């Protein structure tokens, strides 16, 4: 389970509050499954590499704040890049 939490939590930047309903949902500009297809391998490789540096200990990976932040930053960066590209295309 130590691998799963930071991996899944990385996608929390794609969640937004729907002001009309008061519920949280995936951002309308994002297809989460496309994001997973694009970034899944990269996030998994980063997780495996971090695990190796922490002695192949999944529990340590799940508690590594730096790893959580790195995965989150990868997803958020791609999300912001996509939003920027959509707004600059004429």
Give the Cα separation of 78 and 56 in Å (integer).
28
pTM of the model: 0.86
Length of the chain in terms of residues written: 90
Report pLDDT digits (tens) over 49-67.
Answer: 999 999 998 889 999 999 9
Q: How confident is the model at residue 40 (pLDDT cuts 50, 70, 90)?
A: very high
Measured distance CA(10)–CA(46) in Å, rounded: 12
Q: What is the pLDDT of residue 89?
A: 64
């Amino acid at each position: 389970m130590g691998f799963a939490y930071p991996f899944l939590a990385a996608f929390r930047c794609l969640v937004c509050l729907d002001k009309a309903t008061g519920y949280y949902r995936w951002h309308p500009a994002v297809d989460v499954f496309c994001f997973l297809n694009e970034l899944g391998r990269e996030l998994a490789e980063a997780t495996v590499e971090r695990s190796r540096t922490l002695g192949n200990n999944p529990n340590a990976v799940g508690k590594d704040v730096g790893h959580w932040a790195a995965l989150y930053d990868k997803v958020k960066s791609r999300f912001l890049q996509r939003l920027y590209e959509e707004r600059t295309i004429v």
